[in-house]
């Protein structure tokens, strides 16, 4: 996937200059809301996000790219605007959660309830034990993408 190669390329620039300035934080440039998804704090962070980007992309291609790409492009920006804090937020996990939201709209309802309960439980655990992670941006990305996908799904019928 070319996006993963782009993420790795951008990560290598961090050796030469501090890329975290392109994260989102209170008072950041509006451009940062478009760039924060491409910046990662370390190689493990990048590899985890890259794995899930590829994993979900393979599943999401069947949904229809005409609306998937705009959702995964715009929703993380909106989620970032809703969850901006003092500490910079970086990483493509908002895109990953947006993909999960899209996929959730296309699975049977019984599994949707389980998925949402799992996301809520993992978010609570993250809030309690990993306060440096911007949990709200993940939740907003999921919820916005899920509801947009449901609307599009029912309009297409």
pLDDT of residue 147: 94
Confidence (pTM): 0.87
Q: Which residue in 157, 156, 151 sits closest to 71, CA to CA? A: 151
Range with top average pLDDT, 12-16, 27-31, 65-69 = 27-31
Q: Does 114 have pLDDT greater than 90?
A: no
Q: Which residue has the higher pLDDT, 11 or 35?
A: 35
b/e string for 17-40 if b means 16 or more Cβ within 10 A?
A: eebbebbbbeebeeebbbbbbbbb
pLDDT at site 50: 92
If you average pLDDT over residues 84-101, what whole number do you get?
Answer: 91
What's the CATH number for 2-156?
Answer: 1.20.1540.10
Instruction: Give me 84's structure tokens.
Output: 């901006």
Q: At 145, phi and psi to the nearest 5?
A: -65, -40
Provide mean pLDDT across the span 46-64: 86
pLDDT > 90? residue 143? yes
């Amino acid at each position: 996937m070319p996006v993963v190669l782009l993420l790795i390329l951008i990560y290598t620039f961090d050796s030469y200059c501090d890329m975290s300035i392109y994260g989102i934080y209170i008072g950041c440039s509006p451009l940062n809301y478009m760039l924060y998804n491409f910046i990662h704090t370390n190689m493990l962070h990048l590899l985890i996000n890259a794995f899930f980007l590829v994993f979900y992309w393979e599943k999401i291609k069947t949904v229809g790219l005409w609306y998937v790409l705009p959702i995964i492009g715009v929703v993380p920006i909106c989620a970032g605007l809703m969850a901006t804090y003092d500490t910079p937020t970086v990483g493509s996990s908002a895109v990953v959660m947006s993909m999960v939201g899209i996929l959730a709209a296309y699975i049977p309802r019984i599994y949707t309830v389980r998925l949402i309960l799992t996301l809520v439980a993992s978010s609570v655990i993250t809030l309690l034990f990993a306060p440096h992670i911007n949990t709200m941006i993940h939740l907003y990305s999921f919820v916005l993408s899920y509801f947009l996908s449901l609307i599009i799904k029912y309009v297409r019928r």
